[in-house]
Amino acid sequence: MANNNFDLSNLALQCVCPNNELIYDDVGKPSVMVKIPKMTYAQLGLGSSTDIHPAFIVNGVTKDAIWISKYQNVVVGGRAYSLPAKDPKTAITFDAARSACIAKGAGWHLMTRAEWAMLALWCKANGTQPKGNNNYGKDHSETVYRAIPTYMDGNNIGRVATGTGPLSWSHDGTPSGIWDLNGNVWEWVGGLRLVKGEVQILANNNAAIVTADQAANSAEWKAIDATTGELLTPDGTGTTANSVKLDYVSSHWQWDTSISSQSDSSRNAPFENTTCSENIADPAKLVLQALGLFKYDATSGAYSGDYFYANNGAAERSFYCGGAWVSGANAGVFALFGGYDRSSSNAGIGFRSAYYVP
């Protein structure tokens, strides 16, 4: 009977949102998930390559699809859940967010940077970069639309209930989409960090593997070769020879093989102003572009004014994405923040789980 009830619930959901699915964890509790079929670089607006985007490659195996939480997550019984009309879980560290996702069972994981970037690229390629709660309960560009408040920032609206905004807050502009990728709360992502300004990742989407080691001292973290785009074993101090590093030049971020302006404080600039020096060859650029760390389209305004925040001097800086209710025009699917360490937590930082068939 329970399985029949689950099937009926899924049928009801899919009658309204065909690509949505209730996926149950190892204790039988559901999350509303959005199925994303595998896509190529070309389908995501990154040239003409028919290679599969790394978000769909886990432990060397190409996945036909991945599932992304439709809503920013809550935590119940130590497990993460994607549910509508809830106050998203905040004041949570990177490691705690990851643990709440892994606790759900095989295939469940903290949404990775590869997955987030894939969605951002899809939105841009399809002209649907979403709006959201980035201006105290509404989008900075909208005057009428509101969502249901769940947390007040003084006398102003702070967080809003998941999925209660207008369709413009959905990643594809339809009821079937993923909500609140722009604003409300920043979202931790796995598989990406800076070490003294050196960008480090896990191969493809290996950050989605339950047993993946993303600890600060993990050997799974790899630097990126600036010439070939291949992965390198980092030297541990952020000075790996010929690795891609983040510099700050003339008030914008620049990818290079060395750092001329290093600072243990957060700085920022529009994402679309990010450049690559002549030391970064095309294969390495493509790795950065696939991870949403460097623009592919040079058209002014193509990235909606989203901002890139980072600290390129600290021993380790983890990343969260999207923006919060105070971010204004700086928020969006290409907004990312690598300014604080993995132990950071406040009322404006949350997370989202994802799933693949193990």
Q: Residue 166's domain spans which residues? A: 36-358
CA dist 112 and 110 (Å) reads: 6
Output the pLDDT for position 1.
32
CA dist 65 and 145 (Å) reads: 33
Residue 112 lies in a domain: yes
Per-residue pLDDT 10s for the chain (358 aa) are 345 566 767 776 777 777 899 999 999 999 999 999 999 999 999 999 999 999 999 999 999 999 999 999 999 999 999 999 999 999 999 999 999 999 999 999 999 999 999 999 999 999 999 999 999 999 999 988 889 999 999 999 999 999 999 999 999 999 999 999 999 999 999 999 999 999 999 999 999 999 999 999 999 999 999 999 999 999 999 999 999 999 999 999 999 999 999 999 999 999 999 999 999 999 999 999 999 999 999 999 999 999 999 999 999 999 999 999 999 999 999 999 999 999 999 999 999 999 999 9
Residue 14 lies in a domain: no
Q: Would you tell me the crossing angle of helices 282-290 and 113-125 to the nearest 10 degrees?
A: 90
Residue 7 lies in a domain: no
Distances (CA, A) of 126 to 28, 238, 270: 35, 37, 21
CA dist 163 and 58 (Å) reads: 29
Residue 5 lies in a domain: no
Q: Cα(first)–Cα(last) distance of the chain, in Å?
A: 26
CA dist 8 and 23 (Å) reads: 13
The label of the residue with tokens 């891609």 reads 244
Domain count, the chain: 1
Residue 341 lies in a domain: yes
Residue 25 lies in a domain: no
Residue 13 lies in a domain: no
Residue 215 lies in a domain: yes
Output the pLDDT for position 291.
98
Positive or negative, the CA dihedral 130, 51, 68, 58 is negative
